[in-house]
Amino acid sequence: MTVAPGDTLSAGAPRGAGTGFIARDALISRVEGAWPVKLLIVQAPAGYGKSHVARQWWHRLGAAQVPRGWIGLDESDASPEQFVEKLLKSLTGLAPDTAPRLLALLGSAVAFPERELLEGLARAIGPEQERLVLFLDDYHLIHGTPASTFVARLMKGMPLRLNLVLTTRKKPDFPLARLRLSGDVLELGQSDLCFTAEEASAFFEENCQAVLPEHTIAEIHHRTEGWPAGMRMAAISLSNMTGTAATRSVFDQADTQDQISEYLFDEVLRNLPEDLARFMFETAILTRFSVETCEGILGWTDAADRLRELAERNLFLIRLDGPEGRYRYHHLFQELLLARVSEAQRRDVSARASQWFEDEDRIVEAVRHALLAELEERAVELVEKHAVNRLLQGYVLETRRLLDMIPADLQRDRPGIVLCHLWLLMQGASPEDAATRLEEARLAMERLREADHDAGIAPSEISVMEVGMLSAMENFPAAKEKARGLLERLPPDRPYLSGTLANILGHVDLALGELSSARRYFEHARAVHSAARHYFGVFMADLLLGLTEKNAGNLRLSEQILRQSIRESQTRLGPGSYPEALASVALAEILYEYNDLRAAEQLFHQHHQVARSWALVVQQISMDLLEIRLLAAAGHRDEAVRKLDLASLQPKMKFERYLDRLIAERLRLTADRADVSPPPGRPRTASAGEDGPDFVREFAAIAAIRRMISEGESLGAIRATEKLLEQNHAAQRKRREIEVLVLRALAFHNLRQMQDAAAALTEALRLSEGERFVRTFLDEGPQITDVLRHLSRDQSLTIDPGIRNYINQLLAAARAGGATPARPAAQAGQAALLEELTHREQAVLAQLALGNTNEEIGGNLGMKLPTVKWHLGNIYSKLSVKNRAQAILSAQHLGLTPAHTKVGDG
């Protein structure tokens, strides 16, 4: 949708109101007298000028400086995704911050994010917004569809300042009784839209070249009963007559409205050149057409001239919104044209259109026209051929549309389509649903083999999916066993399988604490997906690599990876996408550890709803814990405990290790209350494990250590930490090692063994100094602060000056009650530089730092070459650099690219 030029208060301006119309001042005055109503319905059959009346009201509102949006609907908008996409595009100019984020979410979410969209729209059109009037033209085309269900829910919960205007042939399919009782609906019907005698005279005076006697106009008005479309066709027909023919009745052979429309339509066609009429019949088959499609599909090399002639003759041609220059006919005229086209001709044009759209890589339209041509096998083959690749490139919304276009009965025996559904489910972390789909794919493949048909699916693809489901369901040993040797057996012509399996195996090793192996898998996955331009795989590899470095205690590197992932997702998918949300909540955890509570809370609340909808279980638990910790850090500890207890009742708590994490967190929050009761999920006694637990069981061991400390069994807690420290040190899991050292210091403090407590805490400080760990210490409360004071005051202890400074910073943060410490001067300078660069300039600089040429930057960001050069000039000026090499070094300094990026000459 496009914003009307020069009109900052409108979005998706209506098209098509050219000649052949008159002002309906009486109707508009009636609407003005009833305004503002929550809902205006303009309902009548085809040809009554519903859209024309709405357009006039649109322009009247514009003159009054009322913000408004216009959406012209068609049959494809029955899908809620398609409808909401149009809705958000129509609101982009009015909600420039919210609408693009919701569009990115819609385009990247693996299932329709209805709740998040409704809440986002409510925020976009909130109490602070001026009244917004939203026009939905041709609403009957989505009547009884999922899109109309979304509109009903929007109506139910929408702000009072949002008003809807519907033009429709059918009564809306949502309840109107309450709105009628409250006077919040105005309905204009068929009788309201009929021309009065005075309007009929004005119409023919403006639109008919022949001068008609009053009695002829009166007869036409009587026979058409004021039907605007009938009068318009009569005016076109009479304009081609001269002499006495111009004054005769044009209705000698017609009685009913249908007969009148048929007769007048034939009169219009009879006076057209034969080739122009043929052009109209052929373009009507396409439904929506442009100069490009008329030339490429229909072979009309003079299509631009033909369209111009139709407009000049006022032949019911309507220009659609958007920059593509697309057109359609008035619906009534379209129906009359198609009634005279043979089925064979329809199928032929649709088949040619399907092939042309495939050649143009417009697969959704190619499938739609294949179905119109009754080429169901071709439609299915197109989806099987393109859907998975579209998904891997990040086009999730297009993938869902392709799958939704194929009837369910055609999908069951097509393993390729079933597997595409499976890929979507795996992206959305739905292992149980994916297991059902996987069985469907197996059965479909077996049926095809029995019929001696090639399924087109490599058995290894099924195996990759099985490994993924086992991993998602936390059955890590089985996942590793299933994957043994599989990576080497994957077909080289399907790189997405190799990249996906590497991400899955990396996730398994990350869950098992095997960080070095996980890191290698994620780096391999990123390289494979990046080479194949499978951006979703790249995003997932970056996210999981960032989590790996966080678990390794490399917070700064993790922050750098996650910020880079966020920037790339914004560049590829726009702001607010699903990959951005996942990386953002992971980044919020790091900001929380830095004690940057304000930034962590802002980032978390901006993205957590989207991330929760599709995140893996491990990420959902991390989000629960972060929300709980933010509440506690803000002084709302009782609310934090309550939320923790609610979280423990969720279905995801069937995984024991996550319940262990909540038990440990509850013990920390309630340590000073002598409350050692577990959360209400499934009470159980955690054991520290005398022989030393493996990584998966460490959560239970830490919970047991906290319980022992709370119950005064500090010696047992100290003994339990020894095996954990040995394990985590050997595996280079620095973050866990720091956590266990802090618990060890806490246990020694309870025994009043201050020297031992100081030794344990000093080691923790040594490991964490360079990574800005703060909350790991502060969240343990006054006991750890007491040990920090002891370290600060006891001059007999030999402590590195850097660690002494670190201790003083932690004590200052503790005295501030958790307030965010000031950024170092260097970081403040970096932030100032980043703020000076626009979002577009940051995107260009990030692309430059990746080693891309100007042409590649333009291709990746959708810019023309002069625009890229213009942005680079601004960047050089703002960063005070003279060439590309210096700009890349600045990008590294600002954290816009990893430090190992090659810096070339220039």
Contacting residues for 871 by C-beta, under 8 A, at least 6 apart: 840, 841, 844, 863
> Do residues 278 and 361 share a domain?
yes
Residue 207, pLDDT > 80, answer no
Count up the domains in the chain and report the number: 6
Among 138, 166, 192, the domain-final residue is 192
Per-residue pLDDT tens digits for 861-893: 878 887 788 788 778 766 766 677 767 766 765
Average pLDDT of 373-391? 88
| Residue labelled with tokens 């290698």 | 520
79 vs 774, residue with greater confidence: 774
Percent of the chain clearing pLDDT 90 (strictly above): 27
Q: How far apart are CA 436 and CA 419, in angstroms?
A: 11
Residue 649 included in any domain: no
| Average pLDDT rounded to a whole number, residues 783-802 | 84
Question: What 8-state DSSP symbol labels residue 456?
Answer: -
Does 92 fall in a domain? yes
Q: What tokens does 892 get?
A: 């590294």
Domain final residue pick, 622, 644, 666: 644
Are 534 and 583 found together in one domain? no
pLDDT tens profile 22-39: 788 888 888 888 877 888
Q: Residue 13: its pLDDT value, please? A: 60
Q: For residue 581, what are the β-bridge partners?
A: none
Q: Region 660-668: what's the mean pLDDT?
A: 87
Least confident of 66-70, 129-133, 601-605, 834-838: 834-838
3-state helix, strand, coil in the chain (%, to 5): 65, 5, 30
What is the reported pLDDT for 82? Answer: 87
Per-residue pLDDT at 553 exceeds 50: yes
Q: Do 461 and 486 meet the contact criterion of CB atoms below 8 Å apart?
A: no
Q: Do 23 and 145 fall into the same domain?
A: yes
Are 177 and 68 contained in the same domain? yes
198 pLDDT band, cuts 50/70/90, is confident
User: How many other C-beta atoms are found inside a 10 Å radius of the C-beta of residue 685?
Assistant: 10
Query: Do residues 542 and 638 share a domain?
Result: no
- Cβ atoms 839, 806 nearer than 8 A: no
Q: What is the pLDDT of residue 708?
A: 92
Residue 366: the pLDDT is 95
pLDDT of residue 886: 67
Q: Residue 344 pLDDT more than 90? A: yes
Q: DSSP readout, 485-502?
A: THHHHS-TT-HHHHHHHH
| Domain end marker among 192, 222, 240 | 192
Q: Which residue type sits at 713?
A: E
Is residue 854 a contact partner of residue 884, using CB atoms and an 8 Å limit? no
749 in the same domain as 624: no
Token code pair at residue 479: 């996942």
Residue 626 tokens, joined: 């972060």
Q: How much of the chain exceeds pLDDT 70, in percent?
A: 79
Please give the residue range of the domain that contains residue 610. Answer: 563-644
User: What's the pLDDT at 440?
Assistant: 63
Residue 613 pLDDT grade (very low, low, confident, very high; cuts 50, 70, 90): low
Residue 722 forms part of a structural domain:
no
Residue 399 lies inside a defined structural domain of this protein: no
Q: CB–CB of 554/732 below 8 Å?
A: no
The DSSP annotation for 468-486 comes to HHHHHTT-HHHHHHHHTTH
Residue 906's pLDDT band (boundaries 50, 70, 90)? very low
Residue 878 sits in a domain of what CATH number? 1.10.10.10
The mean pLDDT of 743-756, rounded to a whole number, is: 94
CATH of the domain at 176: 3.40.50.300
Model pLDDT for residues 269-326, shown as the tens digit of each residue: 777 888 998 999 999 999 889 999 999 999 999 999 999 888 877 777 888 766 567 8
Of 238-242, 631-635, 829-833, 869-873, where does the model show the most confidence?
631-635
| pLDDT (mean) for 367-390 | 90
- Give a yes or no: residue 26 inside a domain: yes
Q: Are residues 89 and 168 in the same domain?
A: yes
Greater model confidence, 681 or 108: 108
Q: 578 lies in a domain? A: yes
Tell me what the mean pLDDT of segment 160-181 comes to. Answer: 82
Q: In what order do the strands lie in the sheet with 162-168?
A: 10-11, 68-72, 132-137, 162-168, 39-43, 185-188
The pLDDT of residue 774: 95
Same domain membership, residue 364 and residue 278: yes
pLDDT tens digits for range 493-512: 888 889 989 999 999 999 88
**Does the model's pTM come out above 0.75?**
no
| 174 and 322 assigned to the same domain | no
- pLDDT attached to residue 753: 94
pLDDT score of 261: 63
**11 pLDDT above the threshold of 60:** no
Residue 81 has pLDDT above 90, yes or no: no
Residue 65 to residue 629: CA distance in whole angstroms: 47
Asked if 108 and 42 sit in the same domain, the reply is: yes
| Statement to judge: residues 545 and 569 lie in one domain | no
Are 473 and 365 within one domain?
no
Question: Mean pLDDT of all residues in the chain?
Answer: 80
Which H, E and C letters describe 298-342, residue by residue? CCCCCHHHHHHHHHHCCCCEEECCCCCCCEEECHHHHHHHHCCCC
pLDDT for 819: 43
514 pLDDT higher than 50: yes
